Amino acid sequence: MISSRRAISTLQAVVIIVIVVAAAVGGYWWYTSTRKPAAPEEIVLTVPRGGVVMTLDPAESYSVPTHEVIVPVYETLLRYDPENTSRLIPWLAESWEVSENGMSYIFHLRQNVTFHDGTPFNASCVLYSFNRTYSLGLGPSWMMSPINFSACSIIDTYTVNITLKYPYAPFIYSMAAQWGPLIVSPTFCKVHATPEDPWAHEYLKEHMCGTGPYMLEEWVPEDHVTLVKNPNYWRGWSGKHVDKIYMPLIAESSTRRMRLEEGTIDIGGLNLEDAIAVNGTEGVIVEVVPSLNNLMIFMNTQKPPLNNKLVRQAISYMFNYTGALETIRHGFGSQARGPLPASLWGWDPDCPQYSMNLTKAQELIEQAGYAPENITLEVWYVSTSDEERRCAELLQAAAQQIGVTITPKGVTWSALDSAMHPGSGNATDAPDMAMLYWYPDYADPDDYLGQLYYCYNDTVPTDTSAYPWFNYGYYTNATLNKILEEAAQTNNLTKRIELYRKAQRIIVEDAPAIFVFDEPAVLTYRSWVKGYYFNPCYVGTIDFYSIHIEGRP
């Protein structure tokens, strides 16, 4: 583990000098992952990561630990406004137009932007990057699936036409997402492509070349990542910024807490318990801000007795929402009001809400024709999540009071996800209930309602292939499906909000899930860190460009 932000070995210095000398005589490699020895005045921000970086390729990465590294390096056409999730901010695109039929998006691109290798950013880079992500077919490639690449065109050097296969209003919001639409240097990829690997995927797993404010200096797998300032960044470097970002792997939150208290890291990234414990420590700031994360317990609507709406409603009345907030979240959070988090545009503040009422629960079970003692269910949760385990136990304890048996079952994330997609293809073979934390791929209600509650084809509702991957409840409602389809095809934001509010009420009435709580983000950092803010649309990432250091010893 590297304990000093400025230390550099003699061997490292020799390597760096050799590379700098090589760059001086010309060649493509001037921007690679080493640079001149750190100047005495260099300002380093130390931000630990809690998870391992698996790949540096933005066309593959679909995990928070990796995107902590990728987002400062690669950029998108648009970004989300941190103060208003419905507002998009021009970024690599300065403006855009949408055709009346919602099929064509014309983006007018920013000029005088270059990649870290010196390649100019232009319209061809956009089409190349989108096509690369789609063609590789990895994690975020589905984000590009609405695009009809054969119909896209370059209008001029800085104007690109993106044509879709069908009208899809959420597409414009997906253009600001942290996974999927990131722009890479075509030159960089083509130089390192091979006949077997035409998109240079293997090379980009370990190397990076974007337009972002920081670029890769060093990645030591399972140890640390170091990013350095991109001297040619299009937004410039006037004002106060940090020169280097050092990101060591510190898996345990308790260790990150100790380092934050010592002042040897600048930003903590602590879990809730450690954030509460460190609150009040001199020189440490704990800030609670809204996020788009929420927790749900899905019920398999195709599997008796949960195929009966009254039973699902009864279980929704069993859950101890207040207890979960007080004992598990320690007051940090709020009971969910339906399937959308309160911070997302389109959320219905008047949506009906369940509350714990065991008398009502028992009445509904009996109304459904069941005796409580004849209902036996399992609720699956991710065993590494203490919050999920304790929520499952709360539900179990409440159910026992009226004679219903609900047994928690802790498994790995991969085991839970696999079980929810049984090899038989029959939804009735999936678990009774399963927990799922959700944060958005893109900040649009469609990413919640369309991903979790839509059905492609309800003619055979037990067929798992009729549902999006994360519709863990195998829930379908013909009226809802039509509303979601209409909402996804109109570009009128007011109309979309109206439709999504109708959708939320239908979902709550049908109770395919227990809507547990909306989870805020808890930021922990040293008081000398200035300009640090949280954008709820970007989970687990930090806008390092906005940060500077004042008064650090």
Q: Which residues pair with residue 162 across a beta bridge?
A: 105
Is pLDDT above 50 for 77? yes
Per-residue b or e along 477-511, where b marks 16 or more CB atoms closer than 10 Å to that residue's CB: beebbebbeebbeebeeeebbebbbbbbeebbebb
> Which class would CATH give 10-267+527-549?
alpha beta
Q: Is 321 helix (H, G, I), strand (E, B) or coil?
A: helix
DSSP 246: E
Q: If you average pLDDT over residues 250-274, what whole number do you get?
A: 97
Domain ranges of the chain: 10-267+527-549, 291-519
pLDDT at 4: 32
Is pLDDT above 90 for 14? no
pLDDT at 202: 98
End-to-end CA, the chain: 21
| 3-state helix, strand and coil shares in percent for the chain, rounded to the nearest 5 | 35, 20, 45
Q: CB-based burial of residue 23 (10 Å sphere; 0-12 exposed, 13-18 middle, 19+ buried)?
A: middle
Parallel/antiparallel/unpaired status of strands 376-382 and 433-438: parallel
Task: Indicate if 291-519 has the same CATH topology as 10-267+527-549.
Answer: no
H or E stretch at 201: helix 201-204
HSE (side-chain half, CA atoms, 13 Å) at 33 = 15
Q: How far is CA 386 from the centre of its chain?
A: 20
Is pLDDT above 90 for 35? no
The alpha-helical segments, DSSP class H, found in 61-200 are: 64-70, 123-136, 171-174, 186-191
Six-digit token string for 147: 């695009």
pLDDT digits (tens, 9 = 90+) for 479-502: 999 999 999 999 999 999 999 999
pLDDT at 274: 97
Longest dimension (CA), the chain: 83
Q: Which of 30-34, 87-91, 119-123, 360-364 has the lowest mean pLDDT?
A: 30-34
SS3 letters across 137-205: CCHHHHHHCCECHHHCEEEECCEEEEEECCCCCCHHHHCCCCCCCCCCCHHHHHHCCCCCCCCCHHHHC
- Residue 428 has a CB neighbour count (10 Å cut-off) of 14
pLDDT at 217: 98
pLDDT digits (tens, 9 = 90+) for 140-151: 999 999 999 999
Parallel/antiparallel/unpaired status of strands 84-90 and 93-98: unpaired
Parallel/antiparallel/unpaired status of strands 433-438 and 405-411: unpaired
pLDDT at 37: 52
Parallel/antiparallel/unpaired status of strands 376-382 and 405-411: parallel
Six-digit token string for 113: 């932007």
Share of the chain above pLDDT 70, in %: 93
Six-digit token string for 249: 């792997």
Q: Which residues pair with residue 334 across a beta bridge?
A: 518
Beta strands in 430-480 (DSSP E): 433-438
Q: CB-based burial of residue 372 (10 Å sphere; 0-12 exposed, 13-18 middle, 19+ buried)?
A: middle
Closest by Cα among 181, 179, 200 to 189? 200
pLDDT digits (tens, 9 = 90+) for 269-322: 999 999 999 999 999 999 999 999 999 999 999 999 999 999 999 999 999 999
Q: Which residues pair with residue 161 across a beta bridge?
A: 106, 153
pLDDT at 40: 56
Q: If you average pLDDT over residues 114-131, what whole number do you get?
A: 99
Measured CA to CA, the distance from residue 487 to residue 413 in angstroms comes to 32
Mean of per-residue pLDDT scores for the chain? 93
Measured CA to CA, the distance from residue 365 to residue 361 in angstroms comes to 6
Is pLDDT above 50 for 12? no
Which CATH number describes the domain made up of 291-519? 3.10.105.10
Is the peptide bond preceding residue 305 cis, with omega within 30 degrees of 0? Answer: yes
Is pLDDT above 90 for 20? no
User: Which of the two residues, 127 and 14, has the higher pLDDT score?
Assistant: 127
Residue 363 makes CB contacts below 8 A (sequence gap 6+) with: none
The alpha-helical segments, DSSP class H, found in 401-492 are: 413-419, 445-452, 478-489
